[in-house]
Structure 1
Amino acid sequence: MLAFMQLLFRYAFLKQQEIPLALSDWQYGLLVLSTVLLAAAGYVINNIYDVGTDSINKPNDVVVGKGITETAAYNIYIGLNISGVAIGFILSNIIMRPTFASLFILIASLLYFYATTLKQIMILGNFVVALLLAVSVLIIGVFDLFPATTAENQAQMASLFSILIDYALFAFMINFIREIVKDIEDVNGDYNMGMNTLPVAIGVNRAAKIALGFAVIAFILSGLYCNTYFMQNKLYITVFYAFATVLAPLLYFIVKIFSAKSQKEFHHLSSILKLILFFGILSILVIALNIKYNA
């Protein structure tokens, strides 16, 4: 979904604007590849350190130690990281911003520390994962918009970057809630492994109420955003789309989490949030088409 999201923003949105972009198509492909490689590396290292909890929570999904050895998994992790950071270094030099390579190193480092340490710290691990997803949206602007910004197009570029920020915040909110729900779903394994996640620390019911609170905030903010930017600009197709795929499912989530008790129910709610995130990101295409249709 990460690659799809980045390609969507580039070709369904930025390419439709009359602006210069810093990266050519093949260079942007490298940016997408780099972020996917780093995300894959994060997935691998997370699986390595999650063998204990996954053996309890998802015994059928355990790969490390069954499908591949731990040594092989570490080698894959190192290879993915080196490749991702190297591509990031090349891209940073292509756009004449070599210091931007540090962003890829930071992402790789955060993913490592998340898997080894941060995920065991209440709320902080959830925050880091949500932040990294938001960064994968913002990195588009950093590499494709910022280097192509001039005094003449600064206002337009700033406006487009602000839209990316809006979507990054949306991705952060929904993914942050989802990470809490996933922790609730995995509470038994996390407890047995001595991890201090939110539901382990304060209990499932209280953690669910916190997730509910954040969901209500996300619902209100999304509704206000729809009214301010879509409704007032007469983007009625987008308004309908947002209601059907973001607001209504969020409301469903809010109602359902009240009574959710079992691991199966929380897994279902996690899937709902994943769909909200997907369709929320997809709205950039709907907006572009709606504007074109209205014009």
Structure 2
Amino acid sequence: MNYLKLIRFPNLIMLALMQLVFRYGFLELQNIPLALTDWQYGLLVLATVCIAAGGYIINNILDVETDLENKPNDVIVGKFISENQAYNLYFGFTFTGVAIGFYLSNVIDKPNFASIFIIIAATLYFYATNLKQSLLIGNFIVALLLSLSVVIVGIFDLFPITNQENQPLMGMLFSILLDYAIFAFIINFIREIIKDLEDIKGDLSQAMSTLPIVFGIERTTKLVFALSFIPIIVILYYINTHLVVTGLWYATLYGLIFILAPLLYFSIKIWSANKQNDFQHLSSVLKGILFFGILSVVIISLNIKYNA
């Protein structure tokens, strides 16, 4: 159980589920050839999960003092797992992920694509060691890396088999993946700020320069309130432009109930939030919005299929 906590197993499950949803709940329903076989795609998911696990481990190793202040019951390194063991696990997971990425890049005859995995692993390390302490840079990096886990599906499954004949179709499918990547970035960027609000005590003791420390809790919550209208406007536009006009009423109803309504709830709650429990709750709300947002690609695909 301690090892599962160290790698933040629930987050890894969600990451893997997200990539599986895009493959089997979206791309497979389009009746198009894909570059990777099922077991090769499984390796792609495994590589992503391994590198993410390595990122969580190195973050936990270097965050012990902060976590002792913010979440003393959740501290694993130094209590249940030694620092040396944690470092060995970090190198093991990261090396495995990069090695699988190198293999898959050669499978699709794009050996240079292996650099994607190296860059992601290196960025996670620099985030934990340096970037996390910087104002908004750490938030941006984490959100960007999550969105990249969506884009990488198109890079490895669509791009290698794209040619002049199927380019319009492949371009459209890739643009849909990009839309979801942008959605994931926006939600996760806001969530990272919420987590900074939640961890302000420990971050302050470590002299970090997070947004709540620099701007204060009240001004940061008001900024997040303003930022929360970005995904609301985007979702409203997307529903009206792509779902309502095409008669996809099941997908429209799903978007209104499971994505837009929780976003409105988040906006209302963040205005008056000022306690750690408030921010923990709102962080969970955003995680739920992200989950149901990703799952909407299945609802839309099925609505299109059975509406036709």
Q: TM-score, normalised by structure 2?
A: 0.95
Deviations 1:134-190 (Å, cap 9, x if unpaired)? 000000000000001011100000000000000000000000000000000000100
The count of corresponding residues between Structure 1 and Structure 2 is 295
Between the aligned partners of 2:223 and 2:40, the Cα distance in structure 1 is 42
Which of 170, 183, 201 is the aligned partner of 2:183? 170
Between the aligned partners of 1:31 and 1:189, the Cα distance in structure 2 is 36
Between the aligned partners of 2:171 and 2:31, the Cα distance in structure 1 is 14
SS at 2:138 equivalent:
helix
Corresponding residue of 2:272? 259
Offset at residue 247 of structure 1 (A): 0.5
1:1-295 matched pairs, under 5 angstroms = 1-295=14-308
Offset at residue 218 of structure 1 (A): 1.1
**Could you tell me which amino acid in structure 2 is paired with residue 32 of structure 1?**
V
Q: Structure 1 stretches (4+) deviating beyond 3 angstroms? A: none
Offset at residue 18 of structure 1 (A): 2.1
Structure 2 residues without counterparts, runs of 5 or longer? 1-13
Quote the sequence identity (%): 60
Between the aligned partners of 2:116 and 2:222, the Cα distance in structure 1 is 35
SS at 1:109 equivalent:
helix
SS at 2:247 equivalent:
coil
Between the aligned partners of 1:110 and 1:85, the Cα distance in structure 2 is 13
SS at 2:152 equivalent:
helix
Offset at residue 214 of structure 1 (A): 1.2
Between the aligned partners of 2:155 and 2:302, the Cα distance in structure 1 is 25
Structure 1 residues without counterparts, runs of 5 or longer? none
SS at 1:63 equivalent:
coil
SS at 2:158 equivalent:
helix
User: How large is the RMSD of aligned CA atoms in angstroms?
Assistant: 0.6
Q: TM-score, normalised by structure 1?
A: 0.99
Between the aligned partners of 2:45 and 2:84, the Cα distance in structure 1 is 27
* Bigger mean CA deviation after superposition, 282-291 or 155-164: 282-291
